[in-house]
Amino acid sequence: MSRVALVTGAARGIGAAVVDQLAGEGWQVVAVDLCADLPGLCYPLGSKEELSALANRWPGRVLGVVGDVREQEALTEAVARAESEFGGLDAVVAAAAVMAGGKPLWETTNAEWDALFDIGVRGVFNLARAAVPALLRRPEPRSGRFVALASAAGHKGLWHLAGYNAAKHSVVGLIRGLATDLRGTGVTATAVSPGSTRTAMLDATADLYGLGDVEEFSQHQLAERLLEPEEVAAAVCWLCGEQSSAITGTVVHADGGFTA
Compute the distance between CA of residue 152 and CA of residue 197 in angstroms, rounded to an integer.
11
Nearest to 74 by CA among 8, 134, 1: 8
Number of H helices, E strands in the chain: 8, 7
- What Rg value do the Cα atoms of the chain yield, rounded? 17
Cα dist from 27 to 119, 131, 199, 229, 233, whole Å? 26, 17, 24, 19, 14
Examine the residue annotation and report whether 43 is marked as an active-site residue of this protein. no
| Cβ 226 vs Cβ 196: under 8 Å | yes
Nearest to 114 by CA among 105, 125, 122: 122
Q: Which of 27, 113, 164, 217 is catalytic?
A: 164
For 199, what's the count of Cα atoms within 13 Å in the CB-facing half-sphere? 31
**Residue 197 region, left (φ>0) first, then alpha (ψ -120 to 50), else beta?**
beta
For helices 122-137 and 72-86, angle between their N-to-C axes, nearest 10 degrees: 30
State the burial class of residue 117 (Cβ atoms within 10 Å of its Cβ: 0-12, 13-18, 19+).
middle
| Cβ 115 vs Cβ 46: under 8 Å | no
Catalytic residues: 164
